[in-house]
């Protein structure tokens, strides 16, 4: 059971890139896996509440290979990463990733651009074809990290298989190899880089020497690197500005830390969270929220203006809430409310971000069983997507109210994406565009 839950982690977290730097015309973009605000919320839009295989499906495209990473969108382009396993590999199931690695047969690591209007694949590139050095868990794939885009370039990360920068047209600009990770119990990789303006941040927590590094986004040149005293984690860093100074927030088992984006200097640190940290931090209005939920529960709200040095026991920690927190899914921060799930289950808590007091907790979501996808929000609604294709839409607010339940004929581990009046869902087999007809 422990193995099953663990690898789910990166399946998602895969999910993975976060920075808080709103762009103009954000209704046309979802540049990272937690959206343009890094919170899981779309700033604007009116997508459908109801859908099925026969209702409100604008298009449905079968994609090459496998991958549970969340797509990203800029304008009319959808960028997706995937992996094509070797022919004749082990059947899907518990031994798949380990058997493929042991066979020594190469896996193709690919990046695709999909036309947002038609759903047709515009280009597909093989970033690398190479046998993996370790296996992965049955619930994940070789492509679990989401791409990132700034509208000029696309960044695709495959962990130990490298980081790749392409133009929007699919031309390779640069690539960088960080070596091989040694992941706990060979569960697989999942953390993604974070893009903030002209810098990429790579967090490399594993069973060897962990580190965090900043790269020049245009050239791939490494700007700084700092060692970290951490074992394997799957979370994606968050970049926020406080008093005009960008800082990189990382949450992990030993410590929660903040680094100066320009120099790598540690700005502050505090107590770590639970084992196997996966969920990404979220932030708004000068407060950052860090959370995890494996073998324990931990959620803390930290005021950035007061965070300096060691923040343990200081006024910087506004409040804590230590129950029913998520293992794999990241939280949703939407209009003053923080939504999060219990472990990997459809059991919901909604917290007032100012006080840390729950409006409701232990609320079971209709039709949602196992869930790795992170919730997303827009306007007056919040969307949840289960692993078996069921979805529940609730009304945003302090009282629990269900608007709709929906079902599709695919399985889902990637998080939903909302751009304008459309929802994009990346399943195990298909990429869906859901829009009112």
* Average pLDDT value over all residues in the chain: 90
The DSSP result for 15-75, as a single string, is -------PPTTGGGEE-STT-TTSSSB-SS----S--BTTBSEEEEEE-SSB--PPPEEET
> pLDDT tens digits for 282-316?
999 999 999 999 999 999 999 999 999 999 999 99
Q: Position of tokens 């449905």?
A: 60
Average pLDDT estimate for 13-39: 67
> pLDDT tens digits for 143-189?
789 999 999 999 999 988 899 999 999 999 999 999 988 867 666 77
Residue 138, both tokens: 């049955």
Q: How long a stretch of residues is the chain?
A: 437
- Measured in Å, how far apart are the chain's first and last C-alpha atoms? 43
Q: Position of tokens 């050239």?
A: 219
Q: Of all residues in the chain, what percent carry a pLDDT higher than 70?
A: 87
Between the CA of residue 134 and those of 185, 210, 232, what are the distances in Å? 10, 17, 14
∠ at Cα 290 (286, 292), nearest 5°? 165
φ and ψ of 43, to 5 deg = -70, -20
Residue 231, both tokens: 């074992």
How many Cα atoms occupy the beta-carbon half-sphere of 227 within 13 Å?
Answer: 4
Q: How far apart are CA 9 and CA 2, in angstroms?
A: 11
Element (H, E) at 192: none
Residue 392: pLDDT above 60? yes
> pLDDT tens digits for 333-362?
999 999 999 999 999 999 999 999 999 999
Q: How far apart are CA 22 and CA 356, in angstroms?
A: 26
φ and ψ of 322, to 5 deg = -115, 60
Neighbouring-strand partners of residue 246: 241
**What is the fold, at CATH topology level, of the domain defined by 2-435?**
Methylamine Dehydrogenase; Chain H (2.130.10)
Q: Are strands 309-310 and 266-271 parallel, antiparallel or unpaired?
A: parallel
Query: Which range among 136-145, 330-339, 361-370, 426-435 shows the weakest confidence by mean pLDDT?
Result: 136-145
What pLDDT shows up at residue 9? 42
Q: Given pLDDT bands bounded at 50, 70 and 90, which one contains residue 33?
A: confident
Q: How far apart are CA 196 and CA 193, in angstroms?
A: 10
Beta-carbon count within 10 A of 69 CB: 34
> pLDDT tens digits for 76-99?
999 999 999 887 554 444 345 555
- CA 83 from chain centre, in angstroms, equals 17
Query: How do the domains of the chain map onto residue ranges?
Result: 2-435
Whole-model pTM: value is 0.92
Residue in 202, 183, 86 with CA at minimum distance from that of residue 134: 183
């Amino acid at each position: 059971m422990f193995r099953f839950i663990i690898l789910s982690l990166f399946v998602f977290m895969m999910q993975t890139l976060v920075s808080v730097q709103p762009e103009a015309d954000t209704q046309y973009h979802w540049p990272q896996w937690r959206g343009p605000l890094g919170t899981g919320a779309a700033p604007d839009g009116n997508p459908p509440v109801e859908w099925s295989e026969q209702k409100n499906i604008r298009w449905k495209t079968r994609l090459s290979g496998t991958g549970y990473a969340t797509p990203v969108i800029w304008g009319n382009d959808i960028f997706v990463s995937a992996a094509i396993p070797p022919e004749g590999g082990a059947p899907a199931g518990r031994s798949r990733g380990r058997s493929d690695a042991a066979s020594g047969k190469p896996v193709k690591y690919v990046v695709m651009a999909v036309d947002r209007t038609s759903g047709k694949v515009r280009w597909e590139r093989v970033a690398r074809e190479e046998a993996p050095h370790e296996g992965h868990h049955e619930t994940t794939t070789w492509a679990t990290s989401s791409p990132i885009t700034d509208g000029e370039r696309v960044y695709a990360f495959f962990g130990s298989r490298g980081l790749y920068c392409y133009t929007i047209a699919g031309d390779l600009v640069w690539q960088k190899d960080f070596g091989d990770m040694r992941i706990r119990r060979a569960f697989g990789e999942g953390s993604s880089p974070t893009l903030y303006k002209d810098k990429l941040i790579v967090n490399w927590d594993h069973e060897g020497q962990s580190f965090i590094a900043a790269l020049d986004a245009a050239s791939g040149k490494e700007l700084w690197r700092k060692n970290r005293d951490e074992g394997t984690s799957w979370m994606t860093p968050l970049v926020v500005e406080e008093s005009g100074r960008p800082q990189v927030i990382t949450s992990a088992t030993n410590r929660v830390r903040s680094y100066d984006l320009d120099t790598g200097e540690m700005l502050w640190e505090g107590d770590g969270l639970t084992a196997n940290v996966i969920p990404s931090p979220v932030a708004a209005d000068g407060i950052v929220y860090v959370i995890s939920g494996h073998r324990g529960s931990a959620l803390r709200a930290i005021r950035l203006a007061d965070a300096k040095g060691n923040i343990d026991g200081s006024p910087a920690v506004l409040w804590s809430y230590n129950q029913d927190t998520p293992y794999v899914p990241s939280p949703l921060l939407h209009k003053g409310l923080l939504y999060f799930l219990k472990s990997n289950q459809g059991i919901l808590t909604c917290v007032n971000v100012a006080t840390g007091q729950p409006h409701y907790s232990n609320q079971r979501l209709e039709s949602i069983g196992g869930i790795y996808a992170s919730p997303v929000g827009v306007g007056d609604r919040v969307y949840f997507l289960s692993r078996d294709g069921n979805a529940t839409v609730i009304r945003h607010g302090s009282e629990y109210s269900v608007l709709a339940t929906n079902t599709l004929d695919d399985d889902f581990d990637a998080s939903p994406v909302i751009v304008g009046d459309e929802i994009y869902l990346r399943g195990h087999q298909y990429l869906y565009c859901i829009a009112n007809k």
